[in-house]
Amino acid sequence: MLAGFRQTVPEQHLDLLQCARVLWKKRLESRSLRSIEESLLGLHRYDDIPGAEIPAVYFDYLRRGKTARLKQVFHHNVLDILSMVTLLERIACLGAGQNVEHPAEALALGRLCLRAGRVAEGISYLSDAAAGNDDLLATEAALELSFYYKRLGQWAEAVEIWLALADSRKPNPTALIELAKYYEHRVKDFGKALELTLETLSVVNQKPYCFTNGEACIEALKHRHARLLRKISGTEKPQSS
């Protein structure tokens, strides 16, 4: 608008920043172009004007006619364009299933594929991430896959994942809770559900500050525990279950 051109909306638009946030949220602390250049593209800028200074340089030119630093701005913008072309190529390769280097990328692609209805690819990506060497990402991917199976009513597949996470060296509270819910509401094995709830309480009590809300907080688990005791004793009202 400052140059006198009417603003137009392109027919097709791809926000590379949004793509970067989705694909590398779990891998990079910062998804700024500079961070992506250095961490993923292997590019390093030297003697480059900081982007935060560019508006002041531009307005200095408009108001006072100063052009001394405009060359730096043009150079910065050229580097931005070249970087975005390189980044677009990287994103396109990931979208085609090529050069998936990190479990975080497989996790992100798995979620995107399931959301887009590309089920076989989504399951494959999530399975790869769940088998990766990053424990946190592996657990997150496994749970994501289990919830997908749960939504479809494929209980055998979901339970298999929850059992694996519950029997691990560090039992996962979410998996334990899902198993407790499964045994309570579907199998009607209230004793097993109570056993799993008590195990969850034991795990959560070790780090209660990590579970302050949701189904894994102590109050919610105590509420589940009390309800299961009532069901076992036969004093629970049917509508409360």
**Residue ranges of domains in the chain:** 16-95, 100-153, 171-241
Q: What is the pLDDT of residues 75-102, one digit of tens each?
A: 999 999 999 999 999 999 999 999 999 9
How far is residue 157's CA from residue 238's CA, in Å, rounded to a whole number? 29
Q: What is the pTM of this model?
A: 0.82
Asked if residue 65 has pLDDT above 50, the reply is yes
Contact indicator for 165, 172 with CB cutoff of 8 Å = yes
Cβ neighbours around 150 below 10 Å, total? 18
**pLDDT per residue as tens digits for the range 16-43:** 888 988 999 999 988 888 889 988 888 8
The answer to whether 88 and 82 are in contact (CB under 8 A) is: no
How many percent of the chain have pLDDT more than 90?
A: 66
| Beta carbons within 8 Å of 193's beta carbon, 6+ residues apart | 180, 181, 183, 184, 228
Whether 197 and 230 have beta carbons less than 8 Å apart is answered as: no
88 vs 82: CA distance, rounded Å: 10
Mutual orientation of helices 103-115 and 16-24 as an angle, nearest 10°?
110
Q: What is the pLDDT of residue 32?
A: 84
More reliable by pLDDT, 183 or 239: 183
The secondary element (H helix, E strand) that includes residue 92 is helix 70-95
List C-alpha distances in Å: 157 to 77, 123, 147, 150: 50, 12, 10, 8
Query: What distance in Å separates the CA atoms of residue 217 and residue 237, rounded to the nearest whole number?
Result: 24
- Whether the predicted pLDDT of 239 surpasses 60: no
Model confidence at 238, in pLDDT bands (50, 70, 90)? low
How many CB atoms sit inside 10 A of residue 231's CB? 20
Burial classification of residue 129, based on how many CB atoms lie within 10 Å of its CB (0-12 exposed, 13-18 middle, 19 or more buried): buried
CB 175 within 8 A of CB 160: no
Give the torsion through C-alpha atoms of 200, 241, 143, 160, to 10 deg: 90
